Amino acid sequence: MDLKIFNKAIITLIGVTAASMAVAQKRIDTVTETMTVKPAQVFAFNSTFDTPMAIEVFSPQDSTYRKEYQKLQQQMNDLRAKMSKLRTDELRKNSERMSEMRIKLKDKSFESLKNFQYHFDDNNVSGQSKGLGITSNRQNFYYNGTKGDDYIRKRIASGEAKEKVKNYTKSYSVDRDDNISIDNSYGRVTINTWNKNEVKVDVEIKAVGDDDAKAQKLLDGVSIADSKTSSTVTFKTVIDDDNNNNWSGNNHIRKTEVNYTVYMPAKSPIVIKNRFGSIKTPDLSGKVSVNLSYGNLNAAQLTNPQNNVTVRFGDANIENLNSGAVSVSYGNMNIGTADNLNAKLNSSSGVVNKLKSAGDISVRYGNGFKVGQLVNVKNLNVDAAYTKVLVNVKDDYNFDVNTKMGNFIYDGNDGVKVTETTPDVTRGYSSTKTYKGTVGKGSTGKTITIKGHYTDVKFDDPQ
């Protein structure tokens, strides 16, 4: 009974840690938000009210001022990039720490308790978060090893670790409209297509432990649950709770790897969820929904107009996306050709080599967003903060670019003509500027709208 109570307390504290991390992140964002450089002003304090008063000390026409301002902006861009990388690295480290803390729940010794407390002290958890009613989903804290595959293979080859393997195969007949669902953890999901009204799944399950008995126990704790309802065929990896702590250290190893190979009709809709592993797909015409954490997506042509892709802590690489939504956090989005793209990038970079029809893009932090070529795009809307935006544009377009503490650069494109700037830059400094104009002859039916906050926007001429 005491151990159960202890476990519940620890799980609650882990949830508190995650909540505190989120609060800390919000504070970082708040600090960054308030780092507004206004070189045209200094502040003095009113002796009566102790309130700051702005005093103009620079002329907007002063070339020295402009050079210093541009230098500060470049320093700010470098700082934003470093902060984004630091945030990504820290989130990865905390995932490892939380996995290690959960493993220590299995140890009843007082030494384990001291180590556990030490980890919380490292994360500077405040007692103010107690009693918030935070509950944890234990799946969130699983981590697939702190050592690489090369290290584990060497241990197996030397006899210091043992590996056990088993295989699973199952198939179901499917109609054209039947949905296929794959839910996996700790391994690859590889999709293949064939000309059969059937879905077949081959799964290779591997378990590595310090000895044969421990490896076998891990292997026995992994199974595949499958089912078919009137419209859905489901395959799900089930891992016993005791086996859901994949880790490796200097003296011990426990690792489970579950690799799926799926054969299915190209027109069937499919939902793929994977954690700590990759996803690979061929050309698919059915609706594709991907939810991937800690792994990379490599997809060929996804031609259904309702695709939905979410990747966290990994890259989304897609050859051709025929409409749909893409969300990437702490990774990279690379798309060859996209038609009617809706994308959200958080602490991520994004490249679309060719964009068709329309684009609605949101970018926060990261190394920037680039469009290599616009092809018959009616509307491109970009909302960006703490990053940079590059659009190669050659055809006839109207544009509306709004920047706050950023720049609009277009000297590399001779076809760009600014017809209106608000406010008038000759009348004084302003941190917010709006540029309206045309590319080529302009076109009321084709518009580029970009809103940037601490963001440099550039229109370039594709070569």
Say yes or no: 92 and 179 in one domain: no
Q: How confident is the model at residue 182 (pLDDT cuts 50, 70, 90)?
A: very high
Kindly report each contact of residues 243-247 with a partner whose C-beta sits within 8 Å and lies 24 or more positions away, as own/partner.
Answer: 243/217, 243/218, 244/138, 244/139, 244/142, 245/99, 245/102, 245/103, 245/106, 245/142, 246/142, 246/143, 246/144, 246/145, 246/186, 246/276, 247/99, 247/100, 247/103, 247/143, 247/145, 247/146
**Cβ contact 144:235 at 8 Å:** no
Map 224-286 to HEC letters.
Answer: EEEEECCCEEEEEEEECHHHCCCEECCCCEEEEEEEEEEEECCCCCEEEEEECCCEEECCECC
This prediction's pTM: 0.71
Our measurement of the distance from residue 272's CA atom to the centroid of its chain's CA atoms, rounded to an integer in Å, reads: 17
- The answer to whether residue 346 is domain-embedded is no
Give the end of a domain, one of 277, 310, 340: 277
Task: Assess if residue 229 is contained within a domain.
Answer: yes
Same-domain pairing of 161 and 83: no
Q: Is the same domain home to 166 and 250? A: yes
Predicted confidence band of residue 309 (pLDDT cuts 50, 70, 90): very high
What end-to-end distance do the CA atoms of the chain give, in Å?
71
pLDDT at 412: 72
Among 394, 403, 370, which Cα is nearest to 446's?
394
pLDDT band at 247 (very low <50, low <70, confident <90, very high): low
User: What total number of domains does the chain contain?
Assistant: 2
Pair (217, 125) in one structural domain: no
Q: Is residue 290 part of a domain?
A: no
Q: Please give the pLDDT value at position 63.
A: 59
Q: How confident is the model at residue 120 (pLDDT cuts 50, 70, 90)?
A: very low
Q: What mean pLDDT value characterizes the chain?
A: 78
Whole-number Å distance between alpha carbons of 167 and 174: 23
List pLDDT tens digits, range 76-101. 767 766 776 676 667 656 655 554 55
Share of the chain above pLDDT 70, in %: 67
pLDDT at 96: 52
If one compares 54 and 103, the residue with the highest pLDDT of the two is: 103
Q: What residue numbers bound the domain in which 259 lies?
A: 142-277
